């Protein structure tokens, strides 16, 4: 799997040493995150909309209602920016100025297309479910014809993209190192609470084994 080639738009200028065009790293971040943000322009007005998604190979798939203004804009071939961020910790410095966060992020730029092929659309929707809850697609009813007609899926190739990562503790100014102030970093992680059964679930419905093991940790 070849690494991504930096472009004028994806070349990092702000702390470039934190940037990466490692395709495996980009894929890992995309696969771990649950929510992305799609940026686009409609009638001259900029919008950023949160949405879930799935990566299949070298393509990102995003779905939504057929009436979605976001998907109409994204699928029209106009330029789109798709970003994800994983928050890994709070960085607590000796000075307020040098406080920061540890994170892993990806920016994907390009032009998306509406998925018209029925087989590709069905596979993309299944991938989105599996991205959120691996194994869930085998347990539930798939979308019917009416639901498929009410849903639009767009595909965005992962061709122009970059990752950016910050790790470790604070970077304080030398003159602040002697201050009587605690400094360090506080790791953060997404964790699941106890699953809550919906009302009306049949008593003989098996509780999925993966619920107890669900994790989004790196």
Phi first, then psi: what are they for 107, rounded to 5°?
A: -120, 125
Residue 37 lies in a domain: yes
Placement of tokens 């849903």 in the chain: 151
Residue 50, domain CATH: 2.30.110.10
Q: What is the pLDDT of residue 69?
A: 77
Q: Which residue, among 184, 65, 53, has the nearest Cα to 112 in the 3D structure?
A: 53
Q: What is the pLDDT of residue 60?
A: 97
Residue 178 lies in a domain: no
Cβ atoms within 10 Å of 23's Cβ, excluding its own: 16
DSSP assigned state of 67: T
pTM for this entry? 0.92
Residue 74 lies in domain: 16-170
Placement of tokens 């049949």 in the chain: 202
Half-sphere exposure of 187 (CA within 13 A, CB side): 6
| Mean pLDDT in consecutive groups of 10 residues from the start of the chain, 218 residues | 88 90 96 95 87 96 86 83 97 97 97 94 96 91 93 95 97 96 96 92 92 81
Q: What is the pLDDT of residue 41?
A: 84
Residue 100 lies in a domain: yes
Residue 104 lies in a domain: yes
Q: Which residue, among 201, 58, 192, has the nearest Cα to 132 in the 3D structure?
A: 192
Question: For residue range 52-102, what is the model confidence (pLDDT) as tens digits?
Answer: 999 999 999 999 888 887 787 788 888 999 999 999 999 999 999 999 999
Q: What is the count of structural domains for the chain?
A: 1
Residue 218 lies in a domain: no
């Amino acid at each position: 799997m070849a690494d991504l080639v930096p472009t004028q738009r994806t070349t990092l200028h702000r702390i470039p040493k934190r940037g990466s065009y490692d395709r495996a790293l980009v894929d890992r971040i995309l696969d771990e995150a649950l929510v992305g943000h799609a940026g686009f322009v409609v009638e001259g007005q900029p919008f950023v909309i949160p949405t879930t998604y799935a990566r299949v190979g070298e393509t990102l798939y995003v779905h939504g209602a057929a009436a979605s203004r976001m998907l109409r804009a994204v699928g029209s071939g106009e330029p789109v920016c798709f970003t994800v961020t994983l928050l890994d910790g709070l960085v607590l410095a000796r000075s307020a100025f040098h406080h920061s966060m540890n994170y892993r992020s990806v920016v994907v730029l390009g032009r998306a297309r509406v998925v018209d092929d029925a087989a590709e659309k069905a596979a993309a929707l299944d991938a989105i479910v599996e991205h959120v809850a691996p194994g869930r697609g085998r347990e539930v009813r798939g979308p019917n014809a009416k639901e498929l007609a009410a849903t639009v899926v767009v595909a965005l190739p992962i061709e122009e993209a970059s990752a950016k990562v910050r790790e470790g503790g604070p970077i304080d100014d030398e003159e602040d190192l002697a201050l009587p102030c605690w400094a360090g970093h506080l790791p953060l992680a997404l964790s699941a609470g106890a699953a809550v059964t919906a009302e009306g679930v049949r008593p003989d419905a098996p509780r999925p084994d993966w619920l107890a093991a669900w994790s989004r940790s790196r």
